[in-house]
Chain A
Amino acid sequence: MLPLIALMAMAATTGGPASEQTQSFGDWHTHIVLNGASMQSGSAYTEDGPGTGFGVACGRVCTYYLVSPIPCVDGTEYKALAASPTDTGEIRLRCMHLDVGDGLIPQDGARIEELLTGDTISFAFPLGDGQFNISSFSLNGAKQALTAVIGRWKQEGGTVHAPDDGSKAADPGLNDTTL
């Protein structure tokens, strides 16, 4: 799967030469786009089969995202269940239609971070009529990958987590993504 961040990076790269760095940490991968020595954008992500991914993408801010093969309605907010070995909770996800599939953006990134404990994180999305889509993602290597991207982003003065104002502008870098 082409990581969402790659699309963001492509959209964000307007003029000037950019270089890319990729790394793998366990089941997680990082992709950082550099403009000179500065980090222009980056992502840390993992996959659970074709078309299903979870990670963080840093464009103008850093935001967590899920990519699901199940279509969702652009702009609609969904309630979902997120579970880690030590914690469980309802989260809200906003659907964002992308050319490569539908992205779901958690509206509370800090809550996602609280759930990043243990070996796995799982999400259940209600599909209607008693059906759920369940995705589970390995957290093997997550800490290193997230530190590599979010840590560097913070070091360079970047903002983490989009504000929870319910608008598309809260997910900068995603809504204007083009291939």
Chain B
Amino acid sequence: MIPAITIIAMAAAGATAVPVSDGAERWRLSEPLAAYVENSSGEVLALDCIGASCRYLLALKGDCQEGMLFGTIVNSQAGETPATLKCNTNSKGNVLIIGDADVGRLMSGDHIAFAYPQTDSLIAVARFSLAGASEAIATVMANAKQRDAAAPTP
């Protein structure tokens, strides 16, 4: 299955290549300006750049309503931080934009996880491997910078 987030990131960036997962839980480039990791539950954490502007995105289980905001706590070996998730929907699925937090600072160690609310006051945790994250993120960031520098000035 191609994760929804990957499709969205690819669609946003106009990519044509479709990534093929080999089942290993590690970060991959889905195209020059996007990288992602999919966990065993099919949830996805991605970095997506449009121009020089990069953001982290989540595709989790369940639905959300467009524009809906909710809190999360992000946790890795590097520490923890609260963040806000904003639901963005389109015809291809739901994606949560991670805002108000320097998630990049937490991209070290073996895993990163997000605790987020579900209905009936339950809290779920989405946990992702950080294997290959530093290389994938550095590549995407460098590509984004390079493309932005090469873009014609209006």
Contacts and interface: CB of A to CB of B under 8 A. Distances in A.
A129 interface: yes
Interface stretch (B14-22, B53-61, B117-125, B138-146): B117-125
A131 to B, nearest CB: 7
B132 interface: no
A122 interface: yes
B75 A127 contact: yes
Given A126-B80, A134-B125, A85 B72 contact: no
A34 interface: no
A126 to B, nearest CB: 4
Contacts of B115: 81, 124, 126, 132, 134
Interface of A is mostly: strand
Contact of B121 (A122, A126, A127, A131): A122
Given A126-B115, A130-B112, A131-B75, A121 B81 contact: no
Contacts of B125: 124, 132, 134
Contact of B80 (A79, A89, A121, A136): A79
Q: Chain B CB within 10 Å — which of A122, A129, A130, A132 has the most?
A: A130
B127 interface: yes
B113 interface: yes
Contacts of B81: 79
Interface of B is mostly: strand
A124 B73 contact: yes
A101 to B, nearest CB: 21
Interface residues of A, number: 25
Interface in B54-77: 70-73, 75-77
A130 B75 contact: yes
B111 interface: yes
A136 B122 CA distance: 7
A51 to B, nearest CB: 19
Contacts of A90: 71, 73, 82
Interface of B: 70-73, 75-77, 80-82, 109-113, 115-123, 125, 127-128
Interface of A: 79-81, 83-85, 88-90, 118-124, 126-132, 134, 136
Given A81-B72, A83-B117, A119-B120, 16 more contacts: A79-B80, A81-B116, A81-B117, A120-B120, A121-B121, A126-B73, A128-B80, A130-B75, A130-B77, A130-B111, A130-B112, A131-B113, A132-B113, A132-B115, A132-B125, A134-B125
23 contacts: A81-B82, A81-B123, A83-B118, A83-B123, A84-B121, A88-B70, A89-B71, A90-B71, A122-B123, A124-B123, A124-B125, A126-B80, A127-B75, A130-B75, A130-B76, A130-B109, A130-B110, A131-B111, A131-B127, A132-B115, A134-B115, A134-B123, A136-B123
